[in-house]
Structure 1
Amino acid sequence: MDVIRTAIGLMSGTSMDGIDVALVKTDGRGFIERGPFLGVPYEAEFRERLKRALDLARPLTDRRERPAELRDIELELTKRHAIAVTAFLERFGLSADAVDVLGFHGQTVLHRPDEGLTIQIGDGGDLARRTGISVVYDMRANDMRHGGQGAPLVPAYHAALAGKFQQAGEAVCFVNIGGISNLTSIGPDGRISAFDSGPGNTLIDQWVEMQTGKTYDSGGEIGGRGKVVAALAQRYLESPFFRGNVRRSLDRGDFAPLHQGDASLEDGARTLAHVAAASIVKSAGFLPEKPSIYIVCGGGRLNATLMAEFSVMAEALGSKVLTAEEAGFDGDAMEAEAWAYLAVRSLDGLPLTFPGTTGVEIPVSGGLLARP
């Protein structure tokens, strides 16, 4: 009989806006009982330190290398994750003894899949000591050692959730619109296909922050007042990323932000929302089957302008678009839930990635285990 474990997943994504904490009870296979969720935002000062970490990581060629300043940021990030776990346990009346494992994503500061290099900062051993809970971390590296892109990792969890939406001859596609967007298609035969689809929130966030000091376009309100600047949109959508059948995972620096003066505030936000939506549709053209249903999670689903653009494009091709909530899930929690699920799979030596998700040679497990 498969062992059911209680796991907490911790996710700090490319938007660098905070830590998502979610609890799942699972056997790492088909049994999933979703528990509570907590979002813990970063303050502006620490977000700037994380941006600094991107600069510090850029010249690195060894994923284990930690120059002094980057190491300091790593330890501060780890401490904040420990505080987030403690806050979560206190909020929901849980003890550390009730949790079998933490799935710790850390913060990606460099991702160059073509060079076989990915760096996530976050000290799993230190987190285990601070929380008193075993930690599975560094889950991307083994995939890359076996020829994979190291991303995306969430598809294994999406596949476990997809069952009730699969109908004969139809494919279900989960769309995660974070800083970078990615797709997971589960075909009628259960085959998983997944890849990054293009820019998500990052370009919009960068533009709005540069123009206003706000960290994002809340609800897509700014973009909703603008219009699409066709020449700017075309500049992004003609990227070589959208040509050819070789899909690859993206780093947040792969698409350059708009420059001051390229557009008005509103037109820039609207154009970048259009680009995010069109990127999903263009990339979905590389899936084995046309999706019948798109289920949208991640922060981008809250941008009404982006979602309106995407819905129009998808429905014109005969596909239905649902938010995670309309599908019965929690779109904020899903990535953190996935990291909890993957941690349990790692403990059991089950595959985290597959040839159809990261391009890895064979299905492989991954992750390192740190005990308190």
Structure 2
Amino acid sequence: MSEIYVGLMSGTSLDAMDAAAVRFDGPLPVLLATHTTEWPSELKGKIQQLCQSGNDEIRRLAEVDPAIARVSAQTVKSLLVKAGLTAEQVTAIGSHGQTIRHIPELGYTLQIGDPNILAEQTGITVVADFRRRDMAAGGQGAPLVPAFHRAVFTSETAHRVVVNIGGISNVSILPPGSEQSPVTGFDTGPGNLLMDYWCQQQWNTPYDKDGFHASQEPHDPILLETLLSEPFFRLPAPKSTGRELFNPAWLSSMLEGFSGLSPTTIQATLCRLTARCVADAIKQHGPETGEVFVCGGGANNKTLMTMLRKEMPNKRLGSTSDLGVDPQWVEAIAFAWLAQQNILNLPGNLPDVTGASGLRVLGGVYPA
């Protein structure tokens, strides 16, 4: 029998907890079932507060850490019911946890959601805390999904890029037959994070469905160049980022002097920023690229996909569904795969991507 793993993912966008039951027994992972749990609004607010410095953080962390674990456990239980699986049939859960700090230049990253509680309440072995071993070896601890992208999406003949657009965007540049070739991967900058925030502020909606608001007016070229003046965009790879940089305060500072722009123009410009940063990264680090496949929530944003096509007119652009993997579930599947790598005592990082001194088995194991 093939082994079944569960991947748990809650990203920078903080939209929901995603869970995927996955079987690995061929060139492509087999997605058995999925389940999404929206964050309770009160808990989501507490997580957002923890993402920034504040008073009494240790007490608030002690409250939120187990609360996330309990939501994770309930999500897994609901997933098992959907899949018709028992806990005994699952080898392990790969839990990303919720990132509340990621400051690689200080050698610091923290994902919370107590894996002890998750193992106790599900009766399934948990693999968690994937990033810190890579960081201990001198790496950024992120992005980690390029190792999965290489294993699943590499072509023997085509130069490919997989673009993951969640709260933050990252690219995996995959040369043909890249088991023998180095893979480049890094965060390019904001993905949906700033667009989601702007939607919440202007229209009281959680995100820009289908990119509707961003499609109403053209972007503003001057504002775009102002946004692109952020030094992060000029840093060499490896590099990674998060809410610590791209947050409401950053956006407010960039919008000073642009009070005459309409909310839809600003939304269009934020959308173009995401597309431009992805395209610039591919142009600089993967000029031979012929095929670009998008995953994550950004794959569902029609306006963003249109802007990506405008930025990369000579490349084939699609989503990972063209390669047989649902773009909405790539990250959750990736953490199921990372759990399997750990259980098999195989490395889960790519030193060329993270900057670590070598390959490492990632994650700590919390037995059922």
**What is the TM-score of this pair, normalised by structure 2?**
0.92
Alpha-carbon offset, residue 246 of structure 1: 3.5
Alpha-carbon offset, residue 290 of structure 1: 2.8
Match of 1:63 in 2: none
Alignment counterpart, residue 177 of structure 1, candidates 154, 159, 165? 165
Match of 1:98 in 2: 89
Alpha-carbon offset, residue 262 of structure 1: 6.4
Alignment counterpart, residue 110 of structure 2, candidates 109, 119, 124? 119
Q: How many residues align?
A: 358
Match of 1:301 in 2: 299
Which sections of structure 2, spanning at least 5 residues, go unmatched? none
The CA deviation string for residues 81-112 of structure 1, in whole angstroms up to 9 with x for no partner, is 00101111112211111111000011000000
Match of 1:81 in 2: 72
What amino acid is the match of 1:307? Answer: M
Q: Are the structure 2 counterparts of residues 329 and 78 from structure 1 closer, same or farther at C-alpha, using a change threshold of 3 Å?
A: same
Match of 2:17 in 1: 19
Alpha-carbon offset, residue 288 of structure 1: 4.7
The CA deviation string for residues 249-283 of structure 1, in whole angstroms up to 9 with x for no partner, is 01223232245946322111101000000010111
Alpha-carbon offset, residue 297 of structure 1: 0.5
* Aligned ranges 1:238-277 → 2 under 5 Å: 238-255=229-246, 256-258=250-252, 259=255, 261=259, 263-277=261-275
**Matched residue SS, 2:325:** coil
Counterpart check, 1:140 vs 2:128: no
Task: Determine if contact 1:171/1:289 at 8 Å carries over to the other structure.
Answer: no
What amino acid is the match of 1:309? Answer: M
2: CA distance between counterparts of 1:307 and 1:59?
41
Alpha-carbon offset, residue 238 of structure 1: 2.4
What amino acid is the match of 1:176? Answer: N
Which sections of structure 1, spanning at least 5 residues, go unmatched? 61-65
Task: Determine if contact 1:207/1:269 at 8 Å carries over to the other structure.
Answer: yes
Match of 1:196 in 2: 187
2: CA distance between counterparts of 1:197 and 1:228?
20
Task: Determine if contact 2:101/2:244 at 8 Å carries over to the other structure.
Answer: no
Task: Determine if contact 2:93/2:127 at 8 Å carries over to the other structure.
Answer: yes
Alpha-carbon offset, residue 324 of structure 1: 2.1
Alignment counterpart, residue 7 of structure 1, candidates 5, 10, 14? 5
2: CA distance between counterparts of 1:262 and 1:22?
45
Alignment counterpart, residue 359 of structure 1, candidates 355, 362, 366? 355
2: CA distance between counterparts of 1:244 and 1:197?
10
Alpha-carbon offset, residue 239 of structure 1: 2.1
What amino acid is the match of 2:312? Answer: A
2: CA distance between counterparts of 1:12 and 1:142?
20
**Matched residue SS, 2:51:** helix
Match of 1:40 in 2: 37
**What is the TM-score of this pair, normalised by structure 1?**
0.91
Alpha-carbon offset, residue 212 of structure 1: 1.9
2: CA distance between counterparts of 1:262 and 1:330?
40
Match of 1:290 in 2: 288
Match of 2:47 in 1: 50
**Matched residue SS, 1:247:** coil
Aligned Cα RMSD in Å?
A: 2.0
2: CA distance between counterparts of 1:314 and 1:297?
17
What amino acid is the match of 1:277? Answer: A
Task: Determine if contact 2:165/2:192 at 8 Å carries over to the other structure.
Answer: yes
What amino acid is the match of 1:228? Answer: H
* Aligned ranges 1:200-215 → 2 under 5 Å: 200-215=191-206
The CA deviation string for residues 347-371 of structure 1, in whole angstroms up to 9 with x for no partner, is 1221111221111111111100001
Task: Determine if contact 1:223/1:270 at 8 Å carries over to the other structure.
Answer: yes
Q: Are the structure 2 counterparts of residues 91 and 311 from structure 1 closer, same or farther at C-alpha, using a change threshold of 3 Å?
A: same
Percent of aligned pairs with the same residue? 32
Task: Determine if contact 1:207/1:257 at 8 Å carries over to the other structure.
Answer: no
Alpha-carbon offset, residue 152 of structure 1: 0.6
What amino acid is the match of 1:174? Answer: V
Alpha-carbon offset, residue 26 of structure 1: 2.2
